[in-house]
Amino acid sequence: MRKLRMSCLLLSGIFNVTALYAAEDIALSAQQVQALDIVSAPLQRQDAAAGTGLPAQVVIPNNQMHIVSAPTDGFVQAMLAAVNEEVKRGQVLARLKSPALIEAQRAFLQAATRAELRRGNLRRDEELFQEGIIAHSRYLTTKNEYAEAAAELAEREQLLSLYGMSVSAIKQLRDKRVLTSAVEIVSPISGVVLEQLAVAGQRAEASAPLYKVASLSPLWLEIAVPLSGVAQAGEGGKISVPAYQAAGKVLSVGRGVDSANQTVMVRAEVTEGAERLRPGQQIEVLIAAPGSVTEQWVVPNQALVRQEGQVYVFVQTPGGFRVQAVTVVSAAAETSTIQAPLRGDEHIAVRGVVALKGAWQGLGGAE
């Protein structure tokens, strides 16, 4: 503050600064600029479609990750897929030997026999009821018995399905009545085996994980965006990963802020070049605002001043400096990327900014 007051005194007293000749202009002569040690530098253009590199992690979308588990207790007879192997949907990944499956098949066949018997009784009593031989109450009783048997059969069939038996295998069991203890576990999707979580010969409990399978296209990126750059990361904005020739778009912008580093998690989807990325990989991502047409510039952080929540730079003019409002897209340790309606051939103050801010506040109102 002392330096700021001395700068304002120097400007108003020694150099006799008169007044702002425009609402946001600071009139300074070349001698005054030199005396205040104000240094200007040309703007450095930043491609608006690129932005500044931001840290990100490659992740697999939730709906593309599947844990293949044992449907019932049993012994692992064979593991038929290996890590990094590409598998197709419905491909057999493992085989189990399960006594529980035999019991479930026996109960299913018993339920099928009861249902068939109840169906025959229903057909007979329906004919007798239509001929007036039996009472309506007896017909309803027989009909209810068949409905209960059919429901039990459906339940047993669903249980076999949960044990991993296909529709064709269940039909074959019902037709041929041959029991088996083999459980074939198939892949629910087409993808890549990421992990093998069991080995042949071990005993597996029901729901024990055997494989982790995932589809690797498309992939997501979880990008840590500084608060100052969240406005740049709107939904639909383009993203790129130059190091891997990958590209995509922003899916969502987080509502919470990481208290440790004051960043917001932005999720993006990689739609091009996903095959060149790997889940868990740490990369740098470039983000552009959706529909952005305003030029972007890279400026030193010391060139930025803040006044009432707005960020400004001082643009050199023939008669001094012009105060120019800017939008900070992203910030790094030494530089920031800004958006502003500038031509690109301007020079901005990069040293002596404190003195310029003091002159501006003294002439244009306090902060």
Residue range 317-321: average pLDDT?
92
Instruction: Judge residue 2's burial from the number of C-beta atoms within 10 Å of its C-beta, 0-12 exposed, 13-18 middle, 19 or more buried.
Output: exposed
Q: Tell me what pLDDT residue 57 has.
A: 96
Among candidates 238, 235, 261, 234, which has minimal Cα distance to 248?
238
Element counts in the chain: helices (H) and strands (E): 6, 23
Which span out of 21-25, 150-154, 256-260 was modeled with the highest average pLDDT? 150-154
Q: Tell me what pLDDT residue 237 has.
A: 83
Rg (CA), the chain: 37
Give the tens place of pLDDT for each residue, 174-228.
999 999 888 889 999 999 999 999 999 999 998 999 999 999 989 999 999 888 7
**234: Cβ–Cβ under 8 A, 6 or more apart, which residues?**
250, 253, 289, 290
> Binning pLDDT at 50, 70 and 90, where does residue 236 land?
confident
Among candidates 192, 162, 244, which has minimal Cα distance to 88?
192
Give the tens place of pLDDT for each residue, 341-367.
888 889 999 999 998 988 888 754 433
**177: Cβ–Cβ under 8 A, 6 or more apart, which residues?**
109
What letter does residue 114 receive in the DSSP assignment? H
Q: Which three-class secondary structure state does DSSP give residue 20?
A: coil
Half-sphere exposure of 139 toward its Cβ, with a 13 Å CA cutoff? Answer: 14
- 337 or 168, higher pLDDT: 168
Specify the pTM.
0.58
CATH C-level class of 71-214: mainly beta
> Binning pLDDT at 50, 70 and 90, where does residue 50 land?
very low
Q: Tell me what pLDDT residue 234 has.
A: 79
Residue 26 in this model has a pLDDT that exceeds 70: yes
Residue range 105-116: average pLDDT?
95
Average pLDDT, the chain: 85
Phi, psi torsion values for 260, nearest 5 degrees:
-75, -40
CA 88 to chain centre: 25
Give the tens place of pLDDT for each residue, 244-294.
889 999 999 999 998 888 899 999 999 899 999 999 999 999 887 555 545
Residue 46 in this model has a pLDDT that exceeds 70: no
**CATH code for the structural domain at 54-60+217-287:** 2.40.30.170
Q: Considering Cα of 231, then 235, then 238, then 242, what sign does the dihedral take?
A: positive
Q: Please check whether the two domains, 2-48+293-364 and 54-60+217-287, share a CATH topology.
A: no
- Residue keyed to tokens 């995509």: 248
The share of the chain scoring above pLDDT 90, in percent, equals 56
Residue 19 in this model has a pLDDT that exceeds 70: no
Locate the domains of the chain by residue range.
2-48+293-364, 54-60+217-287, 71-214
Q: Taking the CB of residue 52, how many other CB atoms lie within 10 A of it?
A: 21
Q: Tell me what pLDDT residue 286 has.
A: 86
**Third-level CATH fold of 2-48+293-364:** 2.40.420
How wide is the angle at C-alpha 310 spanned by C-alphas 306 and 314, nearest 5°?
A: 60
Give the tens place of pLDDT for each residue, 60-75.
999 999 999 999 999 9
- 242 or 120, higher pLDDT: 120
> Binning pLDDT at 50, 70 and 90, where does residue 21 land?
very low
**213: Cβ–Cβ under 8 A, 6 or more apart, which residues?**
65, 66, 68, 87, 93, 187, 188, 189, 191, 192, 193, 194
Q: Tell me what pLDDT residue 188 has.
A: 93
Among candidates 222, 327, 220, 221, which has minimal Cα distance to 264?
222
